[in-house]
């Protein structure tokens, strides 16, 4: 994997872990709801949903970083495969988010932008 692919993968992973932390532990705060949903209020059901989605994002981000660690430590094929899978997951997840609610286009860019860049850089390396 190229240095560019590794840097993008780590950035995408850290972004997903960071967003997951906000979703899991700060979603009840108005600033977090504004950041994630573009609104400052949400019912309890949405809070429960956000907590669950948070862990998907954190595991996805951790998997991406793990892929880079594996590749950097000699397990190049294994690490590259993990990065390709998680970057593809991020990219397609962002597309699904946009399809489900066009108003969340900024979330779509956040979720899929680095994932797509990582995917392309990894495939090119």
| Look-up of token digits 């906000």 | 22
Per-block mean pLDDT, blocks of 10 residues, the chain (125 long): 97 95 86 76 72 92 98 97 97 90 79 94 96
Backbone phi, then psi, for 89, in 5-degree steps? Answer: -60, -45
pLDDT of residue 48: 77
Q: Is residue 54 a contact partner of residue 48, using CB atoms and an 8 Å limit? A: no
62 contacts: CB under 8 Å, gap ≥ 6 = 13, 17
| Helical (H) or strand (E) element with 20 | helix 3-25
Q: Is residue 85 a contact partner of residue 57, using CB atoms and an 8 Å limit? A: no
Backbone phi, then psi, for 73, in 5-degree steps? Answer: -110, 25
């Amino acid at each position: 994997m190229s240095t560019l692919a590794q840097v993008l993968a780590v950035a995408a992973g850290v972004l997903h872990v960071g967003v997951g932390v906000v979703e899991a532990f700060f979603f009840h705060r108005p600033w977090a709801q504004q950041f994630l949903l573009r609104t400052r209020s949400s019912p309890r059901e949405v809070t429960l949903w956000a907590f669950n989605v948070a862990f998907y994002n954190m595991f996805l981000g951790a998997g991406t970083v793990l892929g880079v660690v594996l590749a950097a430590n000699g397990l190049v094929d294994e690490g590259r495969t993990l990065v390709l899978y998680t970057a593809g997951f991020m990219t397609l997840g962002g597309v699904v988010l946009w399809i489900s609610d066009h108003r969340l286009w900024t979330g779509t860019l956040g979720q899929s932008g680095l994932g797509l860049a990582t995917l392309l850089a990894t495939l090119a390396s």
